[in-house]
Amino acid sequence: NGKYTVTLIPGDGIGPEISKAVEEIYDAAKVPIDWEPVDVTPSLINGITTIPKPAVDSIYKNTVALKGPLATPVGKGHQSLNLTLRRTLGLFANVRPCKSVEGYETPYQNVDTVLIRENTEGEYSGIEHVIVPGVVQSIKLITKKASTRVIKYAFEYARANNRPKVLVVHKCSIMKMSDGLFVKTAREVAKEYPDIELGFEILDNTALRLASDPSHFKSLVMVMPNLYGDILSDLSSGLIGGLGLTPSGNMGEKVAIFEAVHGSAPDIAGKGLANPTALLLSSCMMLRHMGLNPYGDKIESAVLKTIASSPANRTRDLKGTASTEHFTQAVISNL
Ligand code: IPM
Ligand code: MN
């Protein structure tokens, strides 16, 4: 039924089950997409974790991919497969929105945050050395180039999504050079966006405010270096009920991969207990990215309506009793 083809990386553990749920719901909603499933099991080439060429080619050809959780292959020398994908494809901005799900109670209400994480460098550069036994060095690499493109992305996102402020989160009181460069770059980029307010906040203070009153983050977009974004996005996710509800998009110049941030949950894999919500909501971000907004809106509201309807329609991670298949059918009936 496809006008569009999208690469599908089903993933490990619960990945195939939650991907199947997405496929069933997309069929029922008549989304004009054909899936192109690919295998990303990497090989070690010259000590570097390498993704099979057919998978990379498929993503470049289709320009969008949906990805379930990936476990890093055991065996020595492998780098994280998730990071390898981001690096191989130049996915420089990781967009992580967290919105309260109505009907699913948490200690926080009406959370609506957007965090954009630099996705290619910082502490994730993988440059580490033993200097002498007992003394190691891990390098946090910050470049003006990567900082500029992610900060620009944050301003564009703010403008396109009616969030009139960009908040740059940093620790330049301590990381004077690296975070200093990130902050300085933000001031420069901001000159091109006079319609968007620019703010700065020290990392630990942002964490404190997110946990004490997330309502302050409603009309802004946070942007920050890689590791800070990793940590604060999990904190934000915790405000709405966890990673099972949190979508994300890894955006590059030419391609984008939308992924569930949660792990592959091998303990419950194959048992029909997994919650496909994070992958479904990520796929709705994907549909909007592709300009298929009506489908994205329709599926997202069916998912949210299902979660709100009753514990009988929620999976166990959301204190419900539904199996993956029951949840999937309930979403389909709410389309
Ligand atoms: C995430 C994950 C990854 C990260 C892991 C799986 C490498 O925690 O997407 O946030 O640290 O970026
Ligand atoms: Mn993380």
Query: Given this model, what pLDDT does residue 79 score?
Result: 87
Query: Given this model, what pLDDT does residue 77 score?
Result: 81
Q: Which residues of 188-213 are buried (b: 16+ CB within 10 A; e: fewer)?
A: ebbeebeebebeebebeebbeebeee
Question: How far is the C-alpha of 229 from the C-alpha of 62, rounded, in Å?
Answer: 28
Contact 324, 306 (CB under 8 A): no
For ligand 1, atom 9, which residue shows the shortest CA distance?
261
Beta-carbon contacts of 332 under 8 Å, excluding residues fewer than 6 positions away, are 24, 25, 28, 302
Bridge partner residues of 223 (DSSP): 116, 168
Bridge partner residues of 263 (DSSP): none
Q: Average pLDDT for consecutive 10-residue bins of the chain (335 residues)?
A: 92 97 98 97 90 97 97 82 93 98 92 98 94 97 98 98 98 98 98 98 98 97 98 98 97 97 96 97 98 98 96 95 98 98
Tell whether pTM > 0.90.
yes
Give CA 160 to chain center in angstroms.
19
Residue to mutate (ligand 1; options 83, 84, 224, 230; most atoms within 8 A of CB):
230
Bridge partner residues of 35 (DSSP): 6
Q: Which helix (H) or strand (E) segment is 191 a member of?
A: none
For ligand 1, atom 5, which residue shows the shortest CA distance?
82
User: Which residue spans within 187-243 are E strands per DSSP?
Assistant: 197-202, 220-224
**Ligand 1 atom showing the smallest separation from residue 80 Cα:** 7
| Sheet of strand 91-99, all strands in order from the earlier edge strand to the far edge | 33-37, 4-9, 64-67, 256-259, 249-252, 91-99, 112-118, 220-224, 165-170, 197-202
Query: Given this model, what pLDDT does residue 1 score?
Result: 63
Interface ipTM > 0.95: yes
For residue 281 the two structure tokens come to 């909501």
Q: Which residue has the tokens 């919500």?
A: 277
For ligand 1, atom 8, which residue shows the shortest CA distance?
230
Query: Given this model, what pLDDT does residue 324 score?
Result: 98
Q: Are strands 112-118 and 220-224 parallel, antiparallel or unpaired?
A: parallel
Q: Whose CA is closest to 313, among 298, 333, 283?
A: 333
